[in-house]
Amino acid sequence: MNSKKIYFASDVHLGAPGIKNHREHEIRFVSWLDSVKNDAAEIYLMGDIFDFWFEYKKVVPRGFTRFLGKLSEITDSGIPVHFFTGNHDIWVFNYLSSECGVIVHREPVVKTIYGKKYFLAHGDGLGNYDKHYNFLKSVFTNKFAQWLFSWIHPNFGIGLADFWSGKSRDKNNKIYGSHYLGDDKEYSVLYAKDVLKEQAIDYFIFGHRHVARTVSVGPESQLIFLGDWIQHFSYAVIENNSVELKYFNS
C-alpha cells in the first residue's frame, strides 16, 4: 500500500473574463494545492489552468502571483508537478519549467502508476472526431503562427485572446454545456474505446469537458472526467491503487 497520494486537477481557467473575483478564485485553488502538498507524491495539472497564457520573449501575462509562487514552493520541496497544456493555455512554452520547475506535457502520456496503467491527457482534439477543432489546433501550434502573434503588442494581443476565449466558451456552452452527453456522443469516451482496441488501460484521466464524472469504458477500464474549478471545484486522487473524484471545500 502506498501512503503517498497522486492528485489531478483541470480547468481552473485563472483569469477568465467571466469570473467575478479573480483573487478569490486564485486563492481557492492555491488553498487546495496547500492542502494536498503534504501527502502528495506527484501533482498533475491537466490543462486549462490558465484561461489564456502566452509567453512573449520578455513578457508573461500579468497576475497569477500566488499560484506561480505556490507551484515553485511545491517543486522546490521535491514534489513533481506535471502541467498538461490545454486548449486555453496551449501557448505555454518554457517559463513554467524554467522558473517554476514544472514538467510540461504537450501530448497525452501513458504511464504505469502504482501498478496500474493510466492514459493522461487534457482531452481536447483526441482522435479525428472533431475535425474543425483539430484544424484550429494545428494553426495554434504552428511555430510560424506563434511567431507572428508574438509581434503583436501584449496589451492588444492578450486583449484579443481574452475576447476570443470568451466567444469560444460561449459557443461551446451552447453546443455541449457542462453536462454529460452520453457514452455514444462524448468524443473522449469514443476515443478511449478506440485506444482500448490497441492496448490495455486501467484508467483514462481527462479534463476539458467541465464534467465531474466516472464512466466505464471497458470491462476493467474507467474514464475520469475531472470537472472544473468554476462550478465543481473537483479533483481526482489516486489512493490505495484506486482513483476517486473528490470536491474541495475551502
Task: For 184-228, write each residue's pLDDT tens digit.
Answer: 889 999 999 999 999 999 999 999 999 999 999 999 999 999 999
Structure confidence at residue 213 (pLDDT): 96
Interval 28-42: pLDDT, tens: 999 999 999 999 999
Strand boundaries in the chain, DSSP class E: 5-9, 40-45, 81-84, 103-105, 109-113, 116-121, 203-206, 212-218, 221-226, 234-239, 242-247
Residue 95, SS3? helix
150 in Cβ contact with 56 (< 8 Å): yes
Domain total in the chain = 1
pLDDT of residue 172: 58
Residue with the bigger pLDDT between 156 and 174: it is 156
Domain that holds residue 228: 5-247
pLDDT of res. 147: 80
Eight-class DSSP state of 50 = B
DSSP assignment of 113-124, as one string? ETTEEEEEE--T
Provide the grid cell at 230.
Answer: 468554476
DSSP class per residue in 158-191? HHHHHHHHHHHHHHHHHHTTTS---TTT-HHHHH
Give, for 148, the enclosing helix (H) or strand (E): helix 143-150
List the CATH number of the domain containing 24.
3.60.21.10
Residue 141 has a pLDDT of 75
